[in-house]
Structures are given as structure tokens and as C-alpha cells.
């Protein structure tokens, strides 16, 4: 595809986006509203701000969901500490709650506008950001083009491109280049990600490491932790976290296999999407196992087989109950999930082999001995059994995971260094504005 044709496609996309807005926008907003936004804030999806813009320089930071929000929180705090206002957009109710819990009124939270010209126009006209900081792989063509038209610098941080995303963009290389040339800087998670962004035309590209490593460990309510520990007592326990469709059944089968050797076994399952909890519980109960759901306040009784962690924001609680964690979306689904939180919270990590989205983290953990990959349920059962029977080996894995995380730290500092040329002029502008008594 020629560069001229690529630009024609993008300009057509911009025009079609505006023309199709009443139909497409209504449908997308309807889909988005199903559990992904709060009542009364529906208009934010169309770029209608729910609060006034503060005076002075302002940076727009976008993080799609819970994982990205957690990763970008320390960066947002560092920006706030410079005295610059931040409007932080996310796409889900759970990520909005995380923003409120961790940042409170230090930032302005809005739901991200739909990637359609009228919505993006309204959003940008109201907020007039001086800089846009986008987290991970949020590549929205209309938003990127409109920011480019308004000459707002945009920086992609913690950037990553999965195998599938890179292949898809590579097939449309001219369009990718016409889009990515609007990015003032890409700060990639790994060397592989950096090379992929460069291949698609992004310039300049630097590598920072994963911002998730520089986040604080997931918090916990100590009273709730103590209560669960009393219920569990001395039982052997392992956890399967961030599981996806099909993996819960595999974990239940592993529990059945292990119980022949460990009669007091308790298995924790934390599904990636807690709204599937009722379905998961029904499937496991059909196998003759007793399930307790945290969302119902069920007690863990001596004959409870599976404790279903179907609540949001409690990963710090579940991981503090165990020293063995299987990380999902890696056996029956592909891409993997973040293994760094269990490493931080002192778990020996097991995973399926489909971990492409977190390749760099797993490579480091496996090299250092902090994680092991399993092929199927039999191999998973064998690995959990081995770790139960060999506490010294389990501790070696835990220590290796902790060391790996420590060695990977520093991404926040490197990211702030990359952002400094964009932020420092705004800091000076804010100081001058305060001195002169206002912002124009």
C-alpha cells in the first residue's frame, strides 16, 4: 500500500467516523454501557465532560482497564508531584473504582470517549490537553489523528505489541506508519516491542521495561486476611488466578487428582471475569465438589474444595493465602496474564505455555528459576504436587521471583526521563501562570 493510499484510507476513516456517528456511536455506547460504565456518566463516552477544566497546563493520561491503570498509577503520581493537572481516562467501572481508591481527588477521572470524531472533538475541545500519554497498546486511529491535527504531543508509554497485533499492523504497514508518525515518542516495555514499533514507523522509540514492576504490591485488608487464614487453618492451599473460559474446569480436575494425595487440599480460583462465577461454580459442583463464593460471604468449611475469588480488587488477599500460584489465560486461552504480582507476593509461579503477551517477564522469571511452564493438566498437577512435597524447592522459586522483580525495577524512572522534555516546559508554564495570577 502506498503512502498516498494510506493517507486516503485514514482521511476516509475520519469522514466516515463523523457520518456514521449517530448509528455506530449509539451501538458502541450501548455495548460499552453493559457493565463498563456508571449510570449518569454515559455522556462521557460521547466526549461530554462531567466536570470543569481546571486552569493551567493539563496532561491527559489514558489507561484502558485495571491492569493498565495499576501500571500507570505511579507515573500519574509522579506527574501530579510536578504540579501539573491530570485528567485520567479509563474504559471500565472497575478501573474507575481503582482510580478513586488509589488517586482520589488528586486526578480528574473521565470515561474515555468513543473513537469517533464528534466524541473525540468534544473531549479535546473541553480539556485542551497540553500532552497526551497513552498506556500500553491503546491505538485508537481517530484519537491519534485528532491529537495530531491539534498538534498535541502524544507519547505511548509501557508500549507493547502482541504477536497478533504486530502481524495485523504489519499487513497494513503504510497505515501504521501514517498513524505512528503522530506519536512524539514511544516508550516500549521490551526490546522486542521496541523493534516492532520501529518496524511500523514509530520514531523515536526507547525501552523502559515494564511499569507494572514499579507498582506497589496489591493491598490487603488485614482483618479479612486473618479471618480467612483462621478458616483455612493448616490445610494445603494453592491458587489459580486470572483464569479464563475452560481453565477453571482444568483446575477443578487438578484439585481432584491432587486430593488423593493431599486430603486436606483447598484450591482457590480467581477468574479474570468474576461475572462468570455462577457458571463456574455450577460446572465445578457438577463434578461433585463443594464450592464457596467470596461474593456471597460463604465460609471456608473443612469439606470446602474450591474457594471462588469472584470479587474485584482482592488479588492481594488471595495471593497472600498461598505460596503456589498458577497464572491463567495460558492453557485454554492465549496471551497469558501478568505474573509479576504473584512474584511480588512470594508465590512460586506456574503457567501454561501461551504467554506471548508477557513474554519478557516470563523469560526473565524462567531464566532465574522463579516460574515454570506446564503443558496440560497432568503436568500442572505434577508441578503443584512437587511444590507441596518440596518446600525447599518452593522457597527457591519464591526467592528467584522476588529477585527477578527487583532486577526489573527502574521503568518508572526511565519513563519519566523520556517524558521530561514534554513535561518540563509545562512545569515552567504552570509556575509562570501562578506567578502572574491565572491561565489563559
pTM value is: 0.87
275 and 416 assigned to the same domain: no
CATH code at 97?
Answer: 3.40.50.11720
Q: What is the pLDDT of residue 134?
A: 97
Virtual torsion, Cα 178, 124, 13, 113, nearest 10 deg: 120
Report the domain count for the chain. Answer: 2
For 390-405, how does the pLDDT look when each residue is reduced to its tens digit (9 = 90+)?
A: 999 999 999 999 999 9
Whether residues 362 and 426 share a domain: the answer is no
Half-sphere exposure of 19 (CA within 13 A, CB side): 6
What three-state secondary structure class fits 245?
Answer: coil
**Whole-number percent of the chain with pLDDT over 90:** 86
What is the distance between the alpha carbons of residues 162 and 165, in angstroms, rounded to a whole number?
Answer: 5
Q: Are 270 and 299 within one domain?
A: yes
In a domain, 436, yes or no: no
Distance of CA 440 to the CA centre of its chain: 36
Residues 356, 421, single domain; the answer is no
Task: Check which CATH number belongs to the domain holding 358 and give it.
Answer: 3.40.50.2000
Q: Classify residue 161: in a domain, yes or no.
A: yes
pLDDT of residue 434: 74
Confidence (pLDDT) at 319 = 98
Residues 416 and 377 in one domain: no
Q: How confident is the model at residue 9 (pLDDT cuts 50, 70, 90)?
A: low
222-275 pLDDT, tens digit per residue, is 999 999 999 999 999 999 999 999 999 999 999 999 999 999 999 999 999 999
Q: 272: closest CA among 113, 120, 66, 421?
A: 66
The per-residue pLDDT of the chain, averaged, comes to 91
Q: Is residue 106 part of a domain?
A: yes
**386 or 17, which is more confident?**
386
209 part of a folded domain: yes
Task: Dump pLDDT digits (tens) for 127-182.
Answer: 999 999 999 988 899 999 999 999 999 999 999 999 999 999 999 999 999 999 99
Stretch 335-363: mean pLDDT: 96
Asked if residue 258 and residue 137 are part of one domain, the reply reads no
More confident residue, 16 or 290: 290
CB 48 within 8 A of CB 106: no
- 313 and 190 in a common domain: no
Whether residue 253 is contained in a domain is answered as yes
Q: Annotated active-site positions, please?
A: 68
143, 34: one domain: yes
Residue 20: is its pLDDT beyond 80? no
Q: Which of 153 and 7 is assigned the larger pLDDT?
A: 153
Please check whether residues 301 and 414 belong to one and the same domain: no
44, 222, 381, 389 from 82: Cα distances, Å? 27, 33, 50, 51
Shared-domain flag, residues 263 and 197: no
One domain, residues 255 and 388: yes
Q: What is the pLDDT of residue 334?
A: 86
Q: What pLDDT was estimated at residue 18? A: 40
User: Strand 131-135 relative to strand 154-159: parallel, antiparallel, unpaired?
Assistant: parallel
- Whole domain around residue 304: which residue ranges? 222-408
The predicted pLDDT at position 53 comes to 97
In a domain, 439, yes or no: no
- Tell whether the model's pLDDT for residue 200 goes beyond 90: yes
186 and 282 both lie in a single domain: no
In a domain, 193, yes or no: yes
Q: How confident is the model at residue 381 (pLDDT cuts 50, 70, 90)?
A: very high
Residue 437 lies in a domain: no
Q: Are 253 and 377 in contact (CB under 8 A)?
A: yes
Give the range among 3-17, 277-291, 400-414 with minimum mean pLDDT: 3-17
Amino acid at each position: 500500500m502506498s503512502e498516498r493510499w494510506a493517507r486516503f484510507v485514514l482521511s476516509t476513516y475520519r469522514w466516515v467516523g463523523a457520518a456514521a456517528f449517530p448509528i455506530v456511536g449509539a451501538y458502541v455506547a450501548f455495548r460499552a454501557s453493559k457493565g463498563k460504565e456508571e449510570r449518569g456518566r454515559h455522556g462521557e463516552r460521547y466526549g461530554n465532560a462531567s466536570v470543569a477544566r481546571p486552569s493551567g497546563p493539563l496532561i491527559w493520561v489514558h489507561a484502558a482497564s485495571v491492569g493498565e491503570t495499576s501500571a500507570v498509577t505511579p507515573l500519574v503520581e509522579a506527574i501530579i508531584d510536578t504540579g501539573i493537572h491530570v485528567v485520567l481516562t479509563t474504559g471500565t467501572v472497575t478501573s474507575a473504582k481503582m482510580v478513586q481508591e488509589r488517586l482520589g481527588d488528586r486526578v480528574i477521572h473521565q470515561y474515555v470517549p468513543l473513537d469517533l470524531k464528534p466524541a473525540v472533538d468534544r473531549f479535546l475541545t473541553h480539556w485542551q490537553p497540553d500532552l497526551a500519554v497513552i498506556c500500553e497498546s491503546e491505538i485508537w486511529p481517530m484519537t491519534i489523528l485528532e491529537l495530531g491535527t491539534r498538534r498535541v504531543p502524544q507519547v505511548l508509554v509501557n508500549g507493547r505489541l502482541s504477536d497478533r497485533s504486530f502481524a495485523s499492523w504489519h499487513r497494513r504497514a503504510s497505515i501504521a506508519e501514517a498513524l505512528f508518525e503522530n506519536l512524539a515518542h514511544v516508550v516500549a516495555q521490551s526490546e522486542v516491542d521496541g523493534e516492532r514499533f520501529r518496524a511500523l514507523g514509530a520514531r523515536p522509540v526507547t525501552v523502559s521495561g515494564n511499569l507494572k514492576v514499579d507498582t506497589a504490591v496489591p493491598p490487603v485488608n488485614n482483618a479479612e486476611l486473618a479471618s480467612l487464614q483462621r478458616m483455612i487453618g493448616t490445610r494445603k492451599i494453592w491458587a489459580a488466578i486470572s483464569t479464563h473460559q475452560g481453565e477453571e474446569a482444568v483446575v477443578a480436575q487438578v484439585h481432584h487428582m491432587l486430593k488423593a494425595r493431599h486430603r486436606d487440599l483447598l484450591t482457590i480460583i480467581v477468574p479474570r471475569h468474576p461475572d462468570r462465577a455462577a457458571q463456574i461454580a455450577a460446572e465445578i459442583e457438577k463434578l461433585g465438589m463443594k464450592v464457596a463464593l467470596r461474593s456471597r460471604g460463604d465460609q471456608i468449611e473443612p469439606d470446602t474444595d474450591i474457594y471462588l475469588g469472584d470479587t474485584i480488587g482482592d488479588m492481594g488477599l488471595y495471593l497472600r493465602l498461598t505460596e503456589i500460584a498458577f497464572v491463567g489465560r495460558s492453557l485454554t486461552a492465549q496471551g497469558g496474564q501478568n505474573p509479576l504480582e504473584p512474584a511480588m507476593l512470594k508465590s512460586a509461579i506456574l503457567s501454561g505455555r501461551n504467554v506471548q503477551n508477557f513474554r519478557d517477564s516470563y523469560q526473565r522469571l524462567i531464566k532465574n528459576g522463579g516460574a515454570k511452564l506446564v503443558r496440560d493438566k497432568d503436568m500442572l498437577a505434577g508441578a503443584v504436587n512437587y511444590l507441596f512435597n518440596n518446600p525447599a524447592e518452593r522457597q527457591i522459586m519464591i526467592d528467584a521471583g522476588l529477585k527477578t522483580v527487583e532486577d526489573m525495577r527502574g521503568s518508572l524512572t526511565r519513563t519519566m526521563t523520556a517524558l521530561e522534555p514534554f513535561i518540563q516546559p509545562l512545569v515552567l508554564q504552570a509556575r509562570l501562570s501562578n506567578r502572574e495570577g491565572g491561565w489563559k
